[in-house]
Structure 1
Amino acid sequence: MTDTNVGAARHALFETDHLHQDLRKRSVRGAAVTISSQAARLLMQVGGMALLARLLLPQDFGVYGKTIALTGFITVIQTGGLSLATVQQAKISHGQVSTLFWLNALLGLTAATLVAVLSPVMGWFYKDPRVISIGLAMAGVVLISSLGVQHRALLQRQMRFTQKVSGDLLALLAGFVAAVVSAWLGAGYWSFVVQQYTTALVTLVMLYGFCRWVPGLPRRGTGVGPMVKLGANQSASSILMFANRNVDNILIGRFVSDAALGFYTLAYRLLLLPMQQINAPLSSVMLPALSRLQHQPKRFCRFYYRALGAIVFVGMPAVCFLLVEARSIIELVLGPKWLPTVPLFQALGGAAFVGTFNIAGGWVYASLGRTDRRLRWQAIATPVTLLGFFAGLPWGALGIAISFSTVTVLLVVPSLRNAYHGTPVDLWTTAKTLARPAFASIGAALVLWAIHASAPHWPAQWVVLDALIFGAAYLGAWLADATGRAHLRDLVGVLDELRTRKG
């Protein structure tokens, strides 16, 4: 390839003018790719989780979980929020992204050093020497992950979702295979460390293979100052959000037991799995698309509410079904030794239900470059959540789970109000978008619960029949009146469009 061609290829990585011409087509195609990949991802995650749950003890999940809960506060800084800066900016250059790449590498090295240095402190805090060795080992994963941040951001900016998704799936599969083999060979909690290294290395190789971009040397005067500020606000918000999601693990690991944390961790992961399959990949499509529409308020709103309606149409019934079928699913997927997870699973239900649409506020903050406002909100929400954790601690893991759900539900309206202030979207339209799937999901759950209550010896193996009953009740609620049928037709039209674009 000649120097001219290399320069043109490099230039194409940073330009997005061509995306405006077919933004809808690219967004639909990206959604089709990401959604269709979730079946494979879900199968891998459920299968890997089930195998590891049978090969390892709850204590193994607990000791690894409490280590990650503390190291995570440090590893969050490895990106510095700089991936968002690359995706969100209307115009970027090779020099800017090169400078951001080296900043990410420096942040990764700093975070890895902090993890290694603070590992003895973590061991002292938990009074568990195993934490020291796991923390030291995980430092390398932090550094490896930081080297692919900008390559991933460039793929997302260019809406090249096929490459991004295929790389993620291969890395996920490789990580689970490595973990399962390690657990089968008797590695115990070290299986999770093996999984993290394998996933990180395969991810890095795939990113470099798909995004053939070689960073230049960092330079002054490239204009990255505002981008770094945007990323810093995002990174600070992420640290506070990480506290929201992980201080509960720290408290359970320190003051209750490793086994209790293992049960809590599996309940949390299994319950959040449906949302992760929907929210995370769709967000990777929504962020670049909404960023391109930030100066077109009408198109922004229409795009936003169609996407929000799509995720709750699937996410809300998935959560409600899991809550009713908690015992059967945990017994079938994880095995009888994990049945103490059931009450924790159900106690987290409120947080999981709200979590089906809480991501919508993040779309607004990120796409409109309002990370400073997000940081201010997190500075309020995080202390409230932490107080809830401490309030529930005397009742152990179950008390913490109940307090987490309660606080999450109470904060949802103030959270969205803060995100929407001064933007084209509003709380009332969001409420109307959420109302139908919420009532339909809860109604279908009550129907299934009533059937179980009237037949207390209903076999766990009949979970497929339960799914059919739940699905019929859920769709029936949509078809009951003209408004519901109109919304359903619109959603079916979106799905048909996805299938057409995919073909």
Structure 2
Amino acid sequence: MSVRPYIRYGLNLAGFNVLNYFSRNADNVLVGWRFGGAALGYYSKAYSLLMLPLSQINSPMTKIMLPALSRLQDDPQAYKIVYLKSVTVVLALGFPIVGWLMALNEEVILLILGNQWIGSIAIYKALMPAAFVSALNVTTGWVYLSLGTTDRQLKWTLFAAPLNVLAMWIGSRWGAVGVAYGISVAFVLLRWPYYSYTFRGTLIRCSDVFRVVFRALFSVLCAAFLVLLFKSVIGGELLIFRVCLYTVVYVISLLFVDVCSFRGEGLVKPLGDVWYRIRN
């Protein structure tokens, strides 16, 4: 048996990881070079605080789902079903965290980092759209890795990485906050072509994924909106109450989406289905 396919798989994956690393760290280089160490400190703190919770979800989910999807690569219909259920689980876990961080952005910065990091708040807000996108990004990597199409993953990165860096550079005209907005804009604008390219050759459609995204996003935004409205009317006090309000409204919205789902399967049932597959 030839080992060439495995070597190509590994080389393409290595190339992707190298390009992705430099693309993901170009913002730190740009902020530090153009605006100095203080701005870089604010920027890196905001970025790491926002993305850290997502990495704690994505890493173990990848270890679980990658082998499961790899075993289904010869059964496209089963692959699609399991993939969409796993996307639902990732969103049901990741989106509420991002929404909570969005609704309580100032409190999170001041409570965890302290008053000396107040300069990170504006950057933190600017990165919110990128955080929502990043909550789903890990699932596209599962497709490339489980189907052995790392060559296509590398080709996309060769196309997208320069655009991401360009967006950062354009945004840098408005300081470190502009760099953050540049990342968010690039992430959002490239999502549809990225997913369309990723799912080409499979039974998965962009509309399938975005239907799941809409359901999760609806629940999160309802909860975040009411918390922000409560804050604007009542003031900045009662933090614990706002956390409880966010949780209650999110759960109610989630159940509402499940009840109204026209396909009879919303966001709650896939959690149990994926857990059943993991246990069996």
Q: Same fold (TM over 0.5)?
A: yes
1:386 Cα offset (Å): 0.9
Whether 1:343 aligns to 2:122 is yes
Q: Distance in 2 between matches of 1:350 and 1:496?
A: 29
Structure 2 match to 1:253 = 32
Letter in 2 for 1:297: P
Report what 2:224 is aligned to: 445
For 1:265, the aligned partner's letter is S
1:352-367 mapped onto 2 (5 Å cutoff): 352-367=131-146
In the TM superposition, residue 483 of structure 1 has moved relative to its aligned partner by 3.0
2:211 corresponds to 1:432? yes
Residue in 2 that maps onto 1:483:
260
Match of 1:91 in 2: none
Deviations 1:26-66 (A, max 9, x none): xxxxxxxxxxxxxxxxxxxxxxxxxxxxxxxxxxxxxxxxx
C-alpha distance in 2 between matches for 1:363 and 1:440:
25
Alignment partner of 1:234 is 2:10: no
Distance 1:497 1:437 in 2: 21
Conserved? CA contact 2:92–2:267, under 8 Å:
no
For residues 498 and 329 of structure 1, do their structure 2 counterparts lie closer, same or farther at Cα, with a shift above 3 Å needed?
farther
1:470 to 219, 226, 246: 246
In our comparison, the structure showing a higher alpha carbon Rg is 1
* CA displacement 1:446-498 (0-9 Å, x = unmatched): 11111111123x23xx4332221011111221233623585244145348748
Tell me, yes or no, if structure 1 residue 244 matches structure 2 residue 18.
no
Whole-Å separation in 2 of the counterparts to 1:486 and 1:418: 26
Over 3 Å counting, the alpha-carbon distance change for 1:388 and 1:414 in structure 2 is: same
Matched residue count: 277
Q: Aligned residue for 2:112?
A: 333
Q: What's the CA shift string for 1:373-407, capped at 9, x where partnerless?
A: 11111111111111111101222211100111011
Residue deviations 1:164-193 (CA, integer Å, cap 9, x gap): xxxxxxxxxxxxxxxxxxxxxxxxxxxxxx
The aligned runs of 1:47-66 (5 Å cut-off) are none
The answer as to 2:83 corresponding to 1:272 is no
Name the aligned partner's letter for residue 317 of structure 1.
P
Determine whether 1:409 maps to 2:188. Answer: yes
Unaligned runs of 5+ in 2: none
Q: Equivalent residue of 2:190, what SS? A: helix
Contact map agreement 1:329 1:463 (CA 8 A) in 2: no
Corresponding residue number in structure 2 for 1:320: 99
Q: How many percent of aligned residue pairs carry the same amino acid? A: 32
Q: Deviations over 1:293-318 (max 9, x none)?
A: 11111221111111100010121121
- From 267, 284, 307, the equivalent of 2:63 is 284
Q: Give the root-mean-square deviation of aligned CA atoms.
A: 2.0
User: Secondary structure of the equivalent of 2:266?
Assistant: helix
In the TM superposition, what is the alpha-carbon distance from 1:223 to its structure 2 partner? 4.0
1:5 aligned residue: none
Question: Is the CA contact 2:91–2:136 (under 8 Å) kept in the aligned structure 1?
Answer: yes
CA contact (8 A) 2:86 2:274 kept: no
> Secondary structure of 1:339's match?
helix
Structure 1 residues 423, 310: closer, same or farther in 2, change over 3 A?
same
Quick one: distance in 1 between partners of 2:265 and 2:116? 46
- Contact kept, 8 Å, 2:172 with 2:178, in 1: the verdict is yes
Name the residue aligned to 2:88. 309
The unaligned stretches of length 5 or more in structure 1 are 1-221
TM score, norm. by length of structure 1: 0.53
Equivalent residues of 1:297, 1:424 under 8 A apart: yes
Instruction: Please report the TM-score for the alignment, with normalisation by the length of structure 2.
Output: 0.92
For 1:387-406, list aligned pairs within 5 A. 387-406=166-185
Describe the shift of the 1:318–1:489 C-alpha distance in structure 2 as closer, same or farther (beyond 3 A): closer
